[in-house]
């Protein structure tokens, strides 16, 4: 285990310049066995490391001296026939790789606050970090912005502590590989053009606590794979431009277990179904306990929550109020607070579902059949 100290905001690798850039530190950590640590020793205040998407300038070539006269060349004997040369494969071209590629386990630790060090791209033509080769990576106290994805995990595990993901062209974090562990504590995902977190790799375990998902262009948290085990606890999912927490975009999203405890799911807006929470796949189990689901809207079904056929949901001690279905008033949506598709299994206990609205039907609060497990306050 080694410690590498970043002491410049410049981007690049130059062993002779007397400083260590973040890119150099990651290259060193990739070639050092064990769980290394990268620290920052920069001037006080907010510092930005901008990743360079341009190839470096080539140095000036030295002047070539005059070439002396070449003596007469003697006659060359006949050259024997040359056998056919096999096809030569295309050679690799020199390309700059601005993405910080992590291939070995490392902790990257910023300063005291996450906004003191920002790692930024060029607005979205490349990911800021990628993780591969089964690396275990922890990112603490950093802001990651202006990339395609802030971090893409292809193969490995990721812990994120007290960090900010903002203004990325795609997702804040994308889990692309299978069998990944993701833990997020005290972090913020805001104003990314797609999802705050996007889970696309199968059989992933995700734990999110005390975090915020706000103003993302698509979902706050998107679960779009098979065999997930997900917990979202003590977090705020607010004002995203699609669903707050989406579980599946098709019937191929199956066998996920999602636990949503003690969250504020507020003011999310979707053009489909499920403004606050949407469950679309098949054979998914969703537990919602002690959440406030308020002010969400859906153009179709379930302003607060939509659970489609083939899924199971338990609701305990939630407040579901002030949500709107059929928000575009075209008579295609049902269930202002909760929409339950035919064949979905839903049990509700100690939950308040009141003062929701469906603009074109009488199912203002709940549409569909459910098991009333007692202690509820559900308006007709």
DSSP assignment string, 162-209: S-EEES-SS-SEEE-SSS-EEEEES-EEES-SS-SEEE-SSS-EEEEE
Q: Is residue 336, in this structure, part of any structural domain at all? A: yes
Note the pLDDT of residue 81: 54
Which structure tokens are listed for 87?
């096809």
Mean pLDDT of 162-175: 99
Q: Is residue 205, in this structure, part of any structural domain at all? A: no
Which of 57-71, 246-260, 319-333 comes out lowest in average pLDDT?
Answer: 57-71
Question: pLDDT confidence of 80, banded at 50, 70, 90?
Answer: very low
Report the C-alpha gap between 197 and 174 in whole angstroms.
Answer: 6
Which structure tokens are listed for 66?
């005059």
Model pLDDT for residues 27-50, shown as the tens digit of each residue: 999 999 999 999 999 988 899 999
Question: pLDDT confidence of 380, banded at 50, 70, 90?
Answer: confident
Backbone angles phi, psi at 158, to 5 degrees: -135, 130
Which of 73-77, 199-203, 324-328 comes out lowest in average pLDDT?
Answer: 73-77
Angle of CA points 185, 187, 188, to nearest 5°: 155
Which structure tokens are listed for 223?
């679960």
Q: Is residue 134, in this structure, part of any structural domain at all? A: no
Query: 243 CB contacts (<8 Å, ≥6 apart)?
Result: 219, 220, 222, 268, 270, 272, 274, 275, 276, 277, 278
Q: Is residue 51, in this structure, part of any structural domain at all? A: no
Note the pLDDT of residue 78: 53
Which structure tokens are listed for 57?
């300038």
Residue pair 267/240 in contact (Cβ under 8 Å)? The answer is no
Distances (CA, A) of 213 to 40, 196, 378: 27, 6, 28
Residue pair 272/241 in contact (Cβ under 8 Å)? The answer is no
Backbone angles phi, psi at 115, to 5 degrees: -85, 5
Domain count, the chain: 1
Q: What percent of the chain clears pLDDT 90, i.e. is strictly above it? A: 82
Report the C-alpha gap between 298 and 300 in whole angstroms.
Answer: 5
Q: Which stretch of DSSP H or E encloses residue 27? A: helix 22-30
Domain coverage including residue 330: 250-380
Which structure tokens are listed for 218?
């698509």
Mean pLDDT of 284-312: 98
Note the pLDDT of residue 146: 98
Mean pLDDT of 128-151: 99
Q: Is residue 273, in this structure, part of any structural domain at all? A: yes
Q: Is residue 333, in this structure, part of any structural domain at all? A: yes
Tell me whether strands 345-349 and 312-316 are parallel, antiparallel or unpaired.
Answer: parallel
Mean pLDDT of 139-161: 99
Report the C-alpha gap between 221 and 276 in whole angstroms.
Answer: 11
Q: Is residue 340, in this structure, part of any structural domain at all? A: yes
Which structure tokens are listed for 74?
């003697």
Which structure tokens are listed for 137?
């990576």
Which structure tokens are listed for 253?
């999203």
Q: Is residue 352, in this structure, part of any structural domain at all? A: yes
């Amino acid at each position: 285990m080694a410690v590498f100290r970043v002491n410049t905001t410049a981007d690049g690798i130059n062993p002779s310049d007397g400083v260590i850039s973040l890119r150099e530190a990651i290259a060193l950590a990739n070639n050092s066995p064990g769980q290394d640590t990268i620290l920052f020793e920069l001037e006080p205040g907010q510092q930005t490391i901008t990743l360079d998407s341009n190839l470096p300038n080539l140095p000036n070539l030295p002047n070539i001296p005059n070439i002396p006269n070449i003596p007469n060349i003697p006659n060359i004997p006949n050259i024997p026939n040359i056998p056919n040369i096999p096809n030569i494969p295309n050679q690799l071209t020199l390309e700059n790789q601005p993405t910080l590629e992590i291939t070995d386990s490392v902790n990257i630790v910023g300063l005291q606050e996450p906004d003191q060090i920002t790692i930024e791209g060029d607005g979205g033509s490349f990911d800021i970090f990628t993780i591969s080769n089964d690396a275990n990576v922890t990112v603490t106290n950093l802001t990651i912005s202006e990339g395609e994805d802030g971090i893409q995990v292809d193969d490995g595990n990721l812990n994120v502590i007290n960090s900010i993901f903002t203004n990325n062209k795609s997702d804040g974090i994308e889990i692309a590989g299978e069998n990944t562990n993701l833990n997020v504590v005290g972090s913020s995902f805001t104003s990314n053009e797609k999802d705050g977190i996007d889970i696309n790799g199968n059989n992933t375990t995700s734990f999110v606590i005390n975090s915020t998902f706000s103003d993302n262009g698509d979902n706050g948290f998107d679960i779009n794979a098979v065999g997930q085990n997900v917990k979202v606890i003590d977090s705020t999912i607010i004002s995203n431009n699609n669903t707050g927490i989406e579980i599946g975009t098709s019937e191929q999203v199956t066998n996920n277990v999602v636990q949503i405890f003690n969250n504020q799911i507020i003011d999310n807006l979707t053009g489909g179904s499920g403004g606050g929470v949407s469950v679309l796949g098949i054979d998914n189990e969703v537990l919602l306990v002690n959440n406030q689901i308020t002010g969400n809207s859906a153009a179709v079904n379930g302003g607060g929550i939509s659970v489609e056929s083939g899924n199971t949901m338990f609701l305990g001690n939630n407040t579901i109020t002030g949500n709107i279905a059929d928000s575009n008033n075209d008579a295609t949506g049902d269930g202002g607070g909760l929409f339950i598709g035919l064949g979905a299994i839903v049990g509700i206990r100690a939950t308040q579902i009141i003062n929701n609205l469906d603009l074109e039907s009488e199912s203002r609060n709940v549409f569909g059949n459910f098991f009333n497990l007692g202690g509820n306050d559900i308006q007709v």
